[in-house]
Amino acid sequence: MPLSVSFLYCDALFGQCGKWWISLYREEDGRMGEVTKPYLRDVYEHTIQIVEIIESYREMVSGLTDLYMSAVSNRMNEIMKVLTIMSSVFIP
Over residues 33-52, the pLDDT tens digits come to 778 778 878 888 888 888 88
- How far is it, in rounded angstroms, from Cα 14 to Cα 32? 22
Residues 22-34 pLDDT 10s: 777 677 666 677 7
Query: Per the domain annotation, does 46 fall within a domain?
Result: yes
Structural domain includes residue 33: yes
Burial environment of residue 8 by CB neighbours within 10 A (0 to 12, 13 to 18, 19 or more): middle
pTM of model > 0.75: no
Overall residue count recorded for the chain in this entry = 92
Interatomic CA distance for residues 20 and 85, integer angstroms: 63
When divided into structural domains, the chain yields a total of 1
Whether 41 maps to a domain, the answer reads yes
76 lies in some domain:
no
Q: How far separated are the first and last CA of the chain, in Å rounded?
A: 49
